[in-house]
Structure 1
Amino acid sequence: MANVVLFHSAVGANEGFHKMADLFVDAGHTVHRPDYYDGHTFPNATEGTAYRDEVGFGNLAQHASDLIADLEGPLVFGGFSLGAAMAQSMGKRDPRASAALLFHAGGVAKPTSWQSHVPLQIHHSVDDPWIDEGNPDELVRSAARSGAQAAHYVYPGSGHVFGDPTGSDYNEELATLMWSRVFALIG
């Protein structure tokens, strides 16, 4: 089974994050949950992104990297919303990466490098207000150009973190489909 590192969203390592992480555990995977917010959680994305901006994304990314420095690979990197940026960075650069799973975020504005041995999946709803149109497609093209398997899954609706069973955007049907695609990739 896979050794999975999951990065939380801008609201922090809350109950919903842990419930989604537990799906990996229930499927037999080892899961690491680095809390790069050091225990801070927020009731909504607006307050969470304000905290992100106060601390600085670069500082948070460095802290996330430091928290997993001692883990041995191979590692599947996954992230939810803000955490997808962490997983994307690791998939792009970290030699321990064996896959990158970007939930409800991910993408680049122009072609970028990607590790050829790291398959990529991006999952989000079609009208998610947090997604920059075209950016996920560019990342998928960049990964595929490197030789990596790359998939961009777009789901109906506008829910942001529709896979979080505790959130207001939760959609069981879409979440079930998303998780089936994830586990088909990583086992």
Structure 2
Amino acid sequence: MTTLVLLHSALGKTPGMEAIAGRYTAAGHTVVTPDFYEGRTFTTAEAGVGHSQEVGFSQLVDRVAAACADLPDEIVFAGLSLGAGIAQQMGKNDSRARGALLFHGGGFPKPTRWQGNVPVQIHFSVDDEWRDSGAPQTLMESAARAGARAEYFLYPGGSHLFSDPLVDDYREDSAQLLLDRSLAFLDRV
């Protein structure tokens, strides 16, 4: 089975993240959930995003890299929203990456380099206000040009963190489909 590094959203390492991690553990994967907010959690996206901006994105990426330093040589990086952005950076730059699962986040505004051996999936609600128009497609094209498998899934509605069972945006049908698709992805890597 796979070593999956699952990165939290701007809300922090909440009980909802633990519930999501439990689904992958139940499927037989080893799941690591670094707390790159160092114990801080937030009840609103605005407060969590404010905290991430105070700390700085590069510092958050460095915290994740440090938390993963002793992990095995083959890792799939996954994340929700802000965590997806960090998982994207790890998938792009960490030589141990064997996949990137980007939930409710991810994409680049312009073409970028990508590792050809790192398949990637992006999952968004079609009307998610946090989705940057065109950025997910640009990442998909960059990954495909590098030789990586690239998949982009859109779900009905405008919910942002629809896979987190403990937030108001949760959508059970979409969350289950995301889980099924991501488990199939993990079976392929």
Provide TM-score, normalisation by structure 2.
0.97
| Whole-angstrom distance in 2 between the partners of 1:73 and 1:124 | 29
* 1:119-138 to 2 correspondences below 5 Å: 119-138=119-138
| Whole-angstrom distance in 2 between the partners of 1:57 and 1:117 | 25
Give the SS at the match of 1:6.
strand
| Whole-angstrom distance in 2 between the partners of 1:138 and 1:3 | 27
Uncovered stretches (5+) of structure 1, i.e. residues with no partner:
none
Give the SS at the match of 2:23.
helix
> Who is 1:186 aligned against?
186
Matched, 1:30 2:34: no
| Whole-angstrom distance in 1 between the partners of 2:185 and 2:54 | 36
Q: State the AA in 2 paired with 1:45.
A: A
> Who is 2:84 aligned against?
84
* 1:36-185 to 2 correspondences below 5 Å: 36-185=36-185
Shift of 1:157: 0.3
Provide TM-score, normalisation by structure 1.
0.98
- How many residues are matched? 187
Shift of 1:93: 1.0
**Amino-acid identity (%):** 49
How big is the alpha-carbon RMSD for the aligned residues of Structure 1 and Structure 2?
A: 0.7
Shift of 1:48: 0.4
Shift of 1:88: 0.2
| Whole-angstrom distance in 1 between the partners of 2:57 and 2:98 | 24
| Whole-angstrom distance in 2 between the partners of 1:44 and 1:114 | 32
